[in-house]
Structure 1
Amino acid sequence: MLFSSFTVFASQGEISSRDQIASQYKWKLEHIYPTDGDWEKDYKKLEEMIPKMDTYKGKLAQTDQLIAAFKLREDMLRISDKLTVYAGMKSDEDNANDTYGAMVDRADGITAKLKAAAAFIEPEILKFPEDTLKDYMQKAELKDYSLYFDNLLRTKAHRLSETEEALLALAGEMAAAPENVYTSFRYVDRRIGEIEDEEGKKVKVSPATYSGMLEHPNRDMRKKAFEAEFTSFKESINVLAAALSGEVKSNVFFAKARKYDSALEAALAPDNIQPEVYNSLIEAVNNNLEPLHRYVSLRKKLLGIGDKVHFYDMYVSMVPSVASDIKYEDGQQMMLEALSALGEEYISDLKKGLSSGWIDVYETQNKYSGAYSWGAYDTHPYVLLNYNGTLDAVSTLAHEMGHALNTYYSNQHQPYAKAEYPIFTAEVASTTNEALMLDYLIKNAETKQEKMYLINSYLEQIRGSIYTQIMYAEFEKEIHDAVESGEALNATFLNETWGSLMKKYYGEDFEVDELAKVWWSRIPHFYWNFYVYKYATGLSAGIILSDKIATEGKPARDAYLNFLKAGGSDYPVEMLKAVGVDLSNPEPVEKALVKFNDLLDEFESLMQE
């Protein structure tokens, strides 16, 4: 575990084109379709399959016809998934490539047609007597659909007629417009600023390099990077406000159409979670803001800030002399060592993913920023990174490979109907990896300074995944409540709502700059309909599970791997209860915030040695 000197600008300058990156650092999308022509063949095949759904209308009371209809829908969805994943990831390689942007639109369009063609299935099934549905749940030939039928019964009051369901399915493509506008702005049309580094050289504030710049020890450099990045959003703030307003109105529309009391209730319903759970998480974090205020004050002290802490002071390490410029291969080895507690099976499959074309590693021109894991049931998982050599980048690798292995195991052990796991549990698989890695690195730190650096990193992980994400979640609730109350989501309302939350969360030693109030406009997750709170529940569960795996050994590890292999075979809260984590109440989040406070105590104790 060696960390070299700080070299944030070592690999910056002009962003590489894709053909300048060695093949071993690029994912192999040819594993899905060898050529675009093969994609077109599957597209045409799906077009020809869709009309066949009509032959099953009115016949689903016959068990053999029901099974055949399910089979056809599944076959079509599996093709649709591959079309969408391939087109989406090819587009993410270069968001300026209109060819793949058009393929994404076509994939979205044909998926909407597929769902519209199959929209009669649920309304027709729901006409059956309840006893019939319960009987179907017990039939061997329908065992893959037991949870599906249970969900139908559970949400029956929110299901609509065949005609209405078909209309909502068709509206799905139109409802994607706000996110499409946002994505086009962020990755194609946005003016990426330039700043001068300490040597007077021009540096482009690209999506991937911006995060590195915020970790620069020179405060003036951090401030210039922040101003360049946030100004690029402020310049179009009214457009971005209109896009987010459209997204929220879309969520409210679909919730009302399905007779939910709120957009929040509708968003939580698929996971069988009540709004009270969401609200109690926000309340639990609001009741535990003092450690975060204390952390901000500690930053002010250690960074020698004479005024107040600003947004651009929140990401630089409080131990600046220990930083990282970690080669990708070294980062892989760090991850493998840290996750060894998960056992030989997990590590063997992790190595397979690292060496088999799953991962797209480095930033290239117009590439999607950030990181994600994606894939289809009939492909191996894929991971997109923008690796920049920081410890955070290594942590991101562990995070996304957690998702990837969850997908890999789920697809291996579950039928298609039960393989897709909800995001609620997905974030557990990723954050357990992060928690294991940081605990391992802290325990094996070679110097006091290194240990302090790693504790700082763990504090940042909890701040980013719990405090910050719950602040995001509170913002989401407030803006949806506003629309449901008839208020307009203009830029002024959004900025002031965001500024108030920042002040509450970060405390008296934090300065809410006017420019920082546009922070909301940089968050793509706000187009994913009450998504972000799952980061907080995920990390909270991950911290508990990582502790169990480290202290209890094989029994806890086996239970955890069985959880990963269970995919979407049960409701997420029930799946987590089986491994000792009850997320139906705020206790896991509260325990994670105790961990934050304990780490803060340990950090301050080391300072005094």
Structure 2
Amino acid sequence: MVKSMPARSEVSIDETWDLQSLFASDEAFHDALSALEKEVDAFASTYKGNTKNASTVNTLLKAYAEINEKFVPVGTYASLKISTDQTDDEAQMLSSKFGSAAAKVNSKLSFVTSELLALPDETLEQAMQESDEFKVYLEKLIRKKQYQLHSEVEKTLAAYSSTFNAPYGLYNTTKMVDMSFDDFEVDGKSYPLSYVSFEGDWEAETDTAKRRAAFNAFSQKLKDYQHTTAKTYDMQLQTEKTTSDLRGYDSIFDYLLFNQEVDRSLYNRQIDLITSELAPHMRKYAKLLQKAHGLEKMTFADLKISLDPTYEPEITVEESKKYINDALGIMGEDYLEMIERSYSERWIDFAQNKGKSTGAFCSSPYGNHPYILISWTGRMNEVFVLAHELGHAGHFYNANRAQNIFNARPSLYFIEAPSTMNEMLMANHLLENSKDPKFKRWVISSIVARTYYHNFVTHLLEAAYQRKVYERIDAGQSVNAGILNNLKRGVLEEFWGDTVEINDGAELTWMRQPHYYMGLYPYTYSAGLTISTQVSKRILEEGQPAVDEWLEVLKAGGTKSPVELSKMAGIDITTDQPLRDTIAYIGELIDELEKLTEEIEGE
């Protein structure tokens, strides 16, 4: 039964994360922010205009790295604070204060990039030879040279950074603060509704009448805010288009893919192949769900239900530990120690409360430990969510210790590989340790419904829709709610065909996803899962050598491109074979579900 959400002040402290390793109090945060602003002034007066040769380049970068390291905890504290309660006035003010301070600081620091890129390439190459430490950073900088603007322009643009980031903040405020859901009724009974309860519970509710009523009530509330949300999104898009044009990129796609270090063919392939080749498998899965639930018709509101509504294991936070440890034990002692600390030192925010960000994420501040946000519902599938976020944590736990601050983060294209890898390890472990066909069916349906549906279908359909949006923007057009609704509906109808009725409200799902404010992010989930599916197969077949190679990949951080990182793990993503193999594997899983269902029903 879904209960009303408590206020943040009412949840148990044990269910919350402990931000004290960042700052002991808000006061300590404000002190650190003031000190940082002074340090930036001192840094600028020491180094501005004084970088002339290779040795001064490396001296500058050493000091610049130290400044960046001090920037991390204040930024992390401000964002984590508001993510657990967007309605908290103090957290809002603290976040705004950081935003405006960050804009000033970035503006004052913009000279670093401008002055380095004004030097001859030979000087930068000599600096790389003299010190390996900043080699990767300088290589990436040289790549950017043709898109760099005059130093005064760069300084001005940096000063506007918090304004350019405003659409994302506005989106979150609309979604988590202004949007308030009324209870909905079924057969004369009232049920509470919120963003978190809809996405965490009602979407998967086994009672069809309640599930569809919740979907309708949820969609109706989204509809009330569609025009504001569309205007907010258009603001984000126009800012990106202007930046792309100003910097001289051929298209907005080239601009957004530049830092991902992959070309457009890899981006397009991910969307085109999955849209055409995965759709038949997923339609088969939708029909299986429809049959299992005895539904007259299958609607968009029914796609998140579990295959076996009578079999949904429940699990406490405490019980999740054993599953996580057993499944990820193959990653070694160091990895397991990180998992132990994440529970015992309260790195994870499990609470469900009003104003908390939806979904789950992992923040991995350099020089500190990772933080994970999740809203624990007690359903067994949360173990997959937690394993996923611990995959991000394990990635940066390794990369942050092995690399300097500039080299720790890999391309966005690769970012979801370590997280989805852990979901695969969890699934493999659960399958190996049970002979019960019902449990096996639950595990496989969890992989299909959570791991693959979420990453290969939900996020991929977001990516297909997002590509259509950017094609409009690239052609100099804008968007509004009507256009966005039509684009989203079109993508859903193309994928599901006549198997699933795309009912009213489905077109509004574009309003639910913050990823659209993070560039070309949605498609990277399927890219990461393609890599991790293939690596997890290697680990199953080869054991320790494959694990050791994977740990080396994690430690490499951002020192290599996605193609090189994948190659280190034994996967060649320059061909479409890994993606086709992964799509075929999803097909095999769905066939296995059909077989198990026949076996269980025949008993």
Common fold by TM > 0.5: yes
Distance 2:117 2:85 in 1: 44
Among 122, 139, 153, the alignment partner of 2:142 is: 153
Distance 1:42 1:306 in 2: 61
Among 583, 589, 598, the alignment partner of 1:593 is: 583
Question: What are the equivalent positions in structure 2 for 1:436-455 lying under 5 Å apart?
Answer: 436-455=425-444
Distance 1:566 1:471 in 2: 31
Question: Residue 120 of structure 2 aligns with which residue?
Answer: 129
Q: Secondary structure at the match of 2:135?
A: helix
Q: Is the 8 A contact 2:54 2:123 kept in 1?
A: no
Distance 1:538 1:136 in 2: 34
Q: Please state if 1:76 is matched with 2:67.
A: yes
Q: Please state if 1:502 is matched with 2:485.
A: no
Distance 1:107 1:42 in 2: 11
Q: Secondary structure at the match of 2:192?
A: strand
Q: 1:551 to 1:510 in 2, by over 3 A?
A: same
Question: What are the equivalent positions in structure 2 for 1:390-539 lying under 5 Å apart?
Answer: 390-460=379-449, 461-539=451-529
Question: Residue 254 of structure 2 aligns with which residue?
Answer: 265
Q: Secondary structure at the match of 1:214?
A: helix
Distance 2:200 2:299 in 1: 15
Q: Once the 2 structures are TM-superposed, how far is the Cα of residue 199 of structure 1 from its aligned partner?
A: 8.6
Q: Secondary structure at the match of 2:308?
A: coil
Q: Please state if 1:51 is matched with 2:41.
A: yes
Distance 2:597 2:524 in 1: 33
Q: Secondary structure at the match of 1:94?
A: coil
Question: What are the equivalent positions in structure 2 for 1:194-593 lying under 5 Å apart?
Answer: 194-196=183-185, 200-288=189-277, 289-307=279-297, 309-460=298-449, 461-593=451-583
Distance 1:591 1:39 in 2: 49
Q: Deviations over 1:168-214 (max 9, x none)?
A: 21232111121111100111000223124679243233414543112
Among 588, 592, 598, the alignment partner of 1:602 is: 592
Q: Secondary structure at the match of 1:287?
A: helix
Distance 1:195 1:187 in 2: 19
Distance 2:340 2:50 in 1: 48
Q: Deviations over 1:299-339 (max 9, x none)?
A: 222222213x1111101111111113211111221121122
Distance 1:446 1:17 in 2: 43
Q: Once the 2 structures are TM-superposed, how far is the Cα of residue 378 of structure 1 from its aligned partner?
A: 2.3
Distance 1:176 1:527 in 2: 9
Distance 1:131 1:66 in 2: 12
Among 73, 79, 82, the alignment partner of 1:91 is: 82
Question: Residue 117 of structure 1 aligns with which residue?
Answer: 108
Distance 1:197 1:374 in 2: 39
Question: Residue 138 of structure 1 aligns with which residue?
Answer: 129
Distance 1:214 1:192 in 2: 15
Question: Residue 174 of structure 2 aligns with which residue?
Answer: 185
Distance 2:83 2:141 in 1: 35
Distance 2:182 2:470 in 1: 32
Distance 1:275 1:193 in 2: 44
Q: Once the 2 structures are TM-superposed, how far is the Cα of residue 531 of structure 1 from its aligned partner?
A: 0.8
Q: Is the 8 A contact 2:69 2:367 kept in 1?
A: yes
Question: Residue 5 of structure 1 aligns with which residue?
Answer: none
Distance 2:13 2:435 in 1: 35
Q: Deviations over 1:571-590 (max 9, x none)?
A: 23211211112333433222
Q: Deviations over 1:356-399 (max 9, x none)?
A: 12111111222222111113212211111101011221111111
Q: Secondary structure at the match of 1:230?
A: helix
1:313 maps to amino acid: D
Q: Secondary structure at the match of 1:369?
A: coil
Q: Deviations over 1:423-468 (max 9, x none)?
A: 3322111100001111221232342122112211111121220122
Computed over aligned residues only, the root mean square deviation of the Cα atoms, in angstroms, reads 1.8
Q: Once the 2 structures are TM-superposed, how far is the Cα of residue 93 of structure 1 from its aligned partner?
A: 2.2
Q: Is the 8 A contact 2:286 2:500 kept in 1?
A: yes
Q: Is the 8 A contact 2:299 2:502 kept in 1?
A: yes
Q: Please state if 1:60 is matched with 2:54.
A: no
Q: Is the 8 A contact 1:76 1:114 kept in 2?
A: no
Distance 2:314 2:205 in 1: 13
Unaligned runs of at least 5 residues, structure 1: 1-8
Question: Residue 91 of structure 2 aligns with which residue?
Answer: 100
Q: Secondary structure at the match of 1:465?
A: helix
Deviates further, 334-343 or 213-222: 334-343
Q: Is the 8 A contact 1:210 1:225 kept in 2?
A: no
Q: Is the 8 A contact 1:190 1:232 kept in 2?
A: yes
Q: Once the 2 structures are TM-superposed, how far is the Cα of residue 420 of structure 1 from its aligned partner?
A: 2.7
Distance 2:382 2:130 in 1: 48
2:34 maps to amino acid: K
Distance 1:37 1:51 in 2: 22
Distance 1:523 1:608 in 2: 37
Distance 2:144 2:57 in 1: 20
**Segments ≥4 residues shifted beyond 6 Å:** none
Question: Residue 174 of structure 1 aligns with which residue?
Answer: 163
Deviates further, 557-566 or 20-29: 20-29
**Percent identical:** 26
Q: Is the 8 A contact 2:186 2:209 kept in 1?
A: no
Q: 1:205 to 1:400 in 2, by over 3 A?
A: same
Q: Deviations over 1:520-549 (max 9, x none)?
A: 111111111111111111111111111111
Deviates further, 497-506 or 558-567: 558-567
Distance 1:438 1:274 in 2: 32
Distance 1:193 1:438 in 2: 37
Q: Deviations over 1:255-293 (max 9, x none)?
A: 112111122111111121111211111121133022122
Q: Secondary structure at the match of 2:107?
A: helix
Unaligned runs of at least 5 residues, structure 2: none
Q: Deviations over 1:242-266 (max 9, x none)?
A: 1111111111111112111122111
1:100 maps to amino acid: A
Q: Secondary structure at the match of 2:560?
A: coil
Q: Secondary structure at the match of 1:383?
A: strand
Q: Please state if 1:14 is matched with 2:8.
A: no
Distance 2:225 2:260 in 1: 35
Q: Once the 2 structures are TM-superposed, how far is the Cα of residue 519 of structure 1 from its aligned partner?
A: 0.9
Distance 1:344 1:43 in 2: 37
Deviates further, 506-515 or 440-449: 440-449
Deviates further, 200-209 or 425-434: 200-209
Q: Is the 8 A contact 1:208 1:370 kept in 2?
A: no
Distance 1:119 1:506 in 2: 48
Distance 2:429 2:188 in 1: 38
Distance 1:355 1:197 in 2: 42
TM-score calculated relative to the size of structure 1: 0.94
1:433 maps to amino acid: N
